């Protein structure tokens, strides 16, 4: 299976998960600096990418990546979230971009991947409408300085995670447990931040392409029964629409429950985007409720499917369902799978090898779905593996490894995993190579074996 000419392959990371160097070169504190989950791990050193970015780009080059998606740390640019610009922070990303271009790798920066400057959180964070204005100032500054070399931008990564995990369940920083009405208000400010940033980016010139990254829960019907299909549709309406409708239709599924909407907000939020990023890892499964107080029941946790180390079920066909459904409902001009991958219990052998067959198979199967969906006319233009390297998996710490590169957290050495070797060939030859490993035919032994 050949890759279409305009299809790019890459890998993704985010600033806080890999950079470390939290107190260097004038960076200010973020909401994540002193927040940790049950593991007690923090991002203080992470993968030390801040000091190793040059050799990391060389690893990307060995992987033959066409593109690299990374995020810019707002607190490196504005240590207090606003006011004085820290030029050393900008310089870091400028050097990174130069290095990428030197290796013919397209930079795909994301402006916000969860590391809100602490000073803004102290003023209410996303509950405060002013944060959206500060984000727009930051976005404009960054794109005006780096946009001569990086032309493809994303405003926000996964608003769902920011709000639900950070403001509702408290699992992520800043660890708030707000009632739904307050969380919805914060989500409105986040969408407003996207809209305002987009308007500022547009004002800098039409060469800058920009979009947003969403990570929908994907309610597949558990069975083909009419009732379960209806339940899945209801689940989409009640859950998924909250994250897509504001962007594509300029409204919330239920406007009355969102406080703080002002005249003109929805128009700003629903400006056309150039590209949509989708982060997809696993499916949801629902069926019609037997109780009368719910319109559907979530069966995701009980389906029997192979599961990654995160406990997430693996079901590649879900990716084509998602792409088709998003295309049918919202018609984005182009779509990139901005994250897809799995955590596995990788072991570095005494020969220095990691035989992560599950990851290779996972990526191959999902990439195949993406390419087939493209053949059916959905404008899928690229695929990024999460992640370039093992890194700080937020509240799960360093225990969950998603990388194409293994990171030894003592020596900080990187090692190419088997999945990375395979992916490097796919990128080089622009062709989906290999056979399914798991559940496929066992490889035939060589003659004379
Ligand atoms: O590591 C995260 C990433 O930061 C956002 N999307 C999901 C990944 C895996 O959990």
pLDDT band for 291, please (50, 70, 90 cuts).
Answer: confident
| Residue 443 banded pLDDT, cuts 50, 70, 90 | low
Question: How is 250-275 classified by DSSP, letter by letter?
Answer: SS-TTGGG-TT--TTHHHHHTS--SE
Q: 340 CB less than 6 Å from ligand 1? A: no
Q: Taking 80 as the threshold, does the pLDDT of residue 444 lie above it? A: no
Q: What is the per-residue pLDDT for 218?
A: 96
CA of 338 from ligand 1 middle (Å) equals: 11
CA of 82 to the centre of ligand 1 (A): 26
In the reported structure, the alpha carbon of residue 393 is separated from the centroid of ligand 1 by a whole-number distance in angstroms of 7
pLDDT at 283: 95
pLDDT attached to residue 37: 87
Ligand 1 atom closest to the Cα of residue 391 is 1
**Look-up of token digits 């030894």:** 408
User: Which residue's alpha carbon is nearest to atom 1 within ligand 1?
Assistant: 393
Checking if the pLDDT of 294 tops 90, the result is no
- pLDDT, mean over the chain: 96
pLDDT at 441 over 80: no
The CATH class of 8-429 is: alpha beta
Domain ranges in the chain? 8-429
CA separation for the pair 43, 33 (Å, rounded): 7
Distance CA 288, CA 263 (A): 38
Q: What angle do CA 310, 314, 316 make, to 5 degrees?
A: 140
Percent of the chain with pLDDT over 90: 92
Query: Which residue among 30, 386, 387, 396 has the greatest number of ligand 1 atoms within 8 angstroms of its CB, and so is best to mutate?
Result: 386
């Amino acid at each position: 299976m050949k890759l279409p000419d305009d299809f790019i392959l890459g890998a993704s990371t985010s600033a806080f998960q890999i950079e470390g160097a939290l107190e260097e070169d004038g960076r200010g504190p973020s909401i994540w600096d002193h927040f940790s989950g049950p593991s007690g791990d923090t991002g203080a050193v992470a993968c030390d990418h801040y000091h190793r970015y040059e050799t990391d780009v060389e690893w990307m080059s060995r992987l033959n990546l066409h593109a690299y998606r990374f995020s810019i740390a707002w607190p490196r640019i504005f240590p207090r979230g606003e006011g004085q610009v820290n030029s050393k922070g900008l310089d870091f990303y400028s050097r990174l971009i130069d290095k990428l271009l030197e290796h013919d790798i397209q930079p795909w920066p994301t402006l916000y991947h969860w590391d809100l400057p602490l000073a803004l959180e102290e003023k209410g964070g996303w509950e405060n409408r002013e944060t959206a204005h500060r984000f727009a100032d930051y976005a404009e500054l960054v794109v005006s300085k780096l946009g001569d070399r990086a032309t493809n931008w994303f405003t926000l990564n996964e608003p769902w995670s920011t709000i639900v995990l950070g403001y509702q369940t408290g699992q992520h920083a800043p660890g708030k447990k707000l009632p739904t009405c307050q969380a919805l208000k914060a989500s409105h400010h986040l969408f407003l931040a996207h809209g305002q940033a987009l308007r500022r980016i547009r004002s800098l010139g039409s060469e800058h392409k920009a979009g947003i990254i969403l990570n929908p829960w994907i309610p597949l019907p558990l069975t083909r029964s009419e009732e379960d299909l209806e339940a899945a549709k209801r689940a989409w309406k009640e859950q998924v629409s909250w994250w897509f409708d504001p962007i594509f239709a300029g409204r919330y599924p239920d406007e009355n429950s969102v406080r703080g909407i002002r005249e003109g907000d929805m128009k700003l939020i629903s400006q056309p985007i150039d590209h949509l990023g989708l982060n997809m890892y696993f499916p949801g499964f629902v069926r019609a409720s037997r109780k009368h107080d719910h319109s559907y029941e979530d069966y995701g946790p009980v389906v029997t499917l192979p599961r990654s180390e995160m406990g997430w079920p693996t079901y590649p066909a879900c990716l084509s369902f998602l792409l088709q459904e998003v295309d049918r409902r919202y018609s984005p001009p182009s779509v990139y799978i901005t994250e897809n991958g799995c955590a596995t219990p990788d072991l570095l052998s005494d020969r220095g090898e990691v035989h992560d067959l599950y990851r290779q198979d996972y990526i191959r199967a999902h990439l195949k779905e993406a390419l087939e969906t493209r053949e059916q006319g959905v404008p899928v233009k690229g695929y990024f593996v999460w992640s370039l390297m093992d890194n700080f998996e937020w509240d799960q710490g360093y225990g969950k490894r998603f990388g194409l590169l293994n990171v030894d957290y003592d020596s900080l050495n990187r090692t190419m995993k088997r999945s990375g070797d395979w992916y490097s060939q796919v990128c080089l030859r622009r062709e989906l190579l290999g056979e399914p490993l798991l559940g496929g035919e066992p490889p035939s032994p060589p003659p004379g074996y």
